[in-house]
Amino acid sequence: MVPAGPMQDDTLSAAAQLDVLQAALDQLDQGITVFDSELRLVGWNHRFFELLDFPAELARRGSHFSDFMRYNAERGEYGPGDVDKLVEERVAQARLFQPHSMERVRPSGNVIAVKGIPLPGGGFASIYTDITAQRGYVLKTKGLTKEFKGFVAVRNVDLNVRKGTIHALIGPNGAGKTTVFNLLTRFLGATAGTITYKGQDITHTRADTIARLGIVRSFQISSTFAHLSVRENVRVALQRKHGMDIHFWRPLRSLDVLNDEVDRLLADVGLESFAEIPAVELPYGRKRALEIATTLALDPEMMLLDEPTQGMGHEDVGRIASLIRKVAEGRTVLMVEHNLGVVANLSNWITVLQRGEILAEGTYGEVSRNPAVIDAYMGSAHA
């Protein structure tokens, strides 16, 4: 029995409680941040700063969310544009206090999954998990080379595309981007080098077999049937997936079993209100959305998109960029794109080609600061 004695106050002060919480959070392998309703930092662990490479001076209570966004904007992680505006956009989004999830590829190549959780009364907590091991390379090339009668269009390209990421292939005209796409999908045979997909050597695999393995290139089915309706175009693509593409002798109503799937795909790309319109009457941006729908009808694991926003106005560019982000969930996307705003907004990782060789790789922030890239590509793009 404990002898009676003076009453002792074992209650920790608020500051001491926060220190205990801080020590506990620092034992986790995941990064943690907590911002209050005024977007001030009230909780974190040091793993967060390790994973996201933020400076130690931000690791203090009261640091504002905008301080973190400004640091990222100034190191080029959000692409080109006015820093103040880029920060303002992200602060406005954060003030919505909505649940969110995303993946970010760090300059180190590590893939970080981010999950945001709204808190009662405002504010939010975010959890950062290194999922690099789960995002191994789904597509790899080694020494990939293509020569045309003495002209080397692609030379010794070692491309590594992580599973579940959006990987951009950029470079000036003539850099070899489309040739690389043709090699990956076997529209061209390689002169030298190897291509592996999910560990399987597909260097000499037929183009149709590659598509059945799950790699689908947008232009492979981008020639829409002009005088068929939007619905019929998507249904034709589904017929191939379900082995119904050569059932000419069956009545048309036998295809009704595909209607629910057609409607879902049209809804996914925002074309449900255009379903009965002939494809030829679609605006250009909507036609590109139809091409993406027919690509999705083949249920690809990896999508190769060749300049998906080429020739579009500003409104259509934004619509297609949002659509790409949406359909990329649960898939791997490799895209060739000249619009650097789209590249900065969507891409987890970027490979820059010049004269058929890899010039640089990294996040947008890295490659946009690379003097060789600025000279070879970005400088000319903004000239």
Mean pLDDT of the chain: 85
CA distance 316 to 104: 25
Check the CA dihedral 174-178-182-187 and report its sign: negative
Residues 89 and 200 in one domain: no
Find the mean pLDDT for residues 153-160.
96
Alpha carbon 233 to its chain's center: 26
3 state DSSP class of 19: helix
CB 158 within 8 A of CB 143: yes
Please give the residue range of the domain that contains residue 335. Answer: 136-381
Residue 263 lies in a domain: yes
Number of domains in the chain: 2
Count other C-beta atoms under 10 Å from residue 322's C-beta: 13
**CA dist list (Å): 155 to 178, 190, 197, 310:** 14, 10, 20, 26
pLDDT in tens, 347-365: 989 999 999 999 999 888 8
CB 114 within 8 A of CB 104: yes
3 state DSSP class of 143: strand
Residues 227 and 317 in one domain: yes
Residues 266 and 299 in one domain: yes
Residues 250 and 298 in one domain: yes
What are the residues facing 126 on neighbouring strands? 33, 116
Check the CA dihedral 142-376-302-331 and report its sign: positive
Residue 95 lies in a domain: yes
Residue 304 lies in a domain: yes
Find the mean pLDDT for residues 342-348.
90
CATH number of the domain bearing residue 273: 3.40.50.300
pLDDT of residue 302: 94
Residues 159 and 121 in one domain: no
CA angle 71, 376, 180 (to 5 degrees): 100
Nearest Cα to 264, choosing from 238, 226, 303?
238
Residues 247 and 275 in one domain: yes
Find the mean pLDDT for residues 180-197.
94
Residue 32 lies in a domain: yes
Listed residues 101, 133, 165: the one ending a domain: 133
Residue 8 lies in a domain: no
Find the mean pLDDT for residues 150-154.
93
Nearest Cα to 42, choosing from 73, 23, 65?
65
CB 224 within 8 A of CB 269: no
24, two tokens: 């506990």
Residues 228 and 324 in one domain: yes
Q: Name the residue with tokens 């291509």.
A: 195
Residues 319 and 366 in one domain: yes
| pLDDT over 80 (residue 223) | no
| pLDDT over 70 (residue 266) | yes
Pairing of strands 215-217, 302-306: parallel
| pLDDT over 80 (residue 172) | yes
pLDDT in tens, 110-135: 788 999 999 998 899 999 999 887 77
CB 341 within 8 A of CB 330: no
Q: Which of 8-12, 137-141, 177-181, 199-203 has the lowest mean pLDDT?
A: 8-12
pLDDT of residue 358: 95
What's the pLDDT band for 4 if we cut at 50, 70, 90?
Answer: very low
CB 69 within 8 A of CB 90: yes
Residue 51 lies in a domain: yes
pLDDT in tens, 134-145: 778 999 999 999
CATH number of the domain bearing residue 74: 3.30.450.20
Residues 187 and 106 in one domain: no
Residues 103 and 151 in one domain: no
Residues 143 and 62 in one domain: no
| pLDDT over 90 (residue 241) | no
pLDDT of residue 383: 39
Nearest Cα to 146, choosing from 203, 205, 193?
193
Q: Where are the alpha helices (DSSP H) in the chain?
A: 14-25, 46-52, 65-74, 83-94, 177-184, 207-213, 230-241, 259-268, 284-296, 314-327, 340-346, 364-369, 371-373, 379-381
Q: What pTM, to 2 d.p., does this model score? A: 0.70
pLDDT in tens, 79-105: 777 899 999 999 999 999 899 888 887
Nearest Cα to 355, choosing from 217, 179, 215, 202?
179
pLDDT: which is higher, 221 or 51:
51
pLDDT: which is higher, 171 or 259:
171
CA distance 332 to 344: 17
**CA dist list (Å): 117 to 27, 35, 103, 321, 382:** 21, 11, 15, 25, 39
pLDDT in tens, 285-326: 888 888 888 888 888 899 999 888 887 778 888 888 888 988
What's the pLDDT band for 256 if we cut at 50, 70, 90?
Answer: low
Q: Which residues have CB under 8 Å from 53's CB, separation 6+?
A: 106, 107
CA distance 109 to 119: 31
Residue 6 lies in a domain: no
The proportion of the chain whose per-residue pLDDT surpasses 70, expressed as a percent, equals 86
Residues 173 and 275 in one domain: yes
Listed residues 133, 154, 182: the one ending a domain: 133
8, two tokens: 């002792």
Residue 3 lies in a domain: no
Listed residues 85, 114, 133: the one ending a domain: 133
CA distance 185 to 202: 9
3 state DSSP class of 350: strand
